Amino acid sequence: MTSDELHSLIASGLACEHLEVSGDGRHWAAVIVSPAFEGKRPIQRHQLVYATLGQRIQNDEVHALSMKTHTPAEWATLNG
């Protein structure tokens, strides 16, 4: 799995206003900004992202994914 592939998987399954993906092929980090996160707790946000990866998480194709998930309003505040 490449960072471009992981980026595409997340973007195709979740409307993202901003998406950054980095990693070494097994351990990944992502910053994801999506209106779908509105009103959701962090665990619910992560579940939405994991759902875009489907079996790739379960079959260890994506071993670890660290996420920072933000709503567009949260992201605007962070980047003032």
Under DSSP, is residue 75 helix (H, G, I), strand (E, B) or coil?
Answer: helix
Amino acid 40: pLDDT: 98
Amino acid 78: pLDDT: 95
Amino acid 1: pLDDT: 86
Amino acid 80: pLDDT: 83
CATH 3.40.50.300 fits 3-78, yes or no: no
- Say how many C-beta atoms besides its own lie within 10 A of residue 35's C-beta: 12
Amino acid 58: pLDDT: 84
Amino acid 63: pLDDT: 85
Average pLDDT per block of 10 residues along the chain, 80 residues long: 94 97 92 98 96 89 93 95
pTM to 2 decimals? Answer: 0.93
Domain regions of the chain by residue span: 3-78
Amino acid 39: pLDDT: 97
Q: Which two tokens stand for residue 72?
A: 């567009």
CA distances, 70 to each of 10, 17, 52, 53, 80 (Å): 14, 10, 17, 18, 14
Nearest to 69 by CA among 39, 50, 46, 47: 46
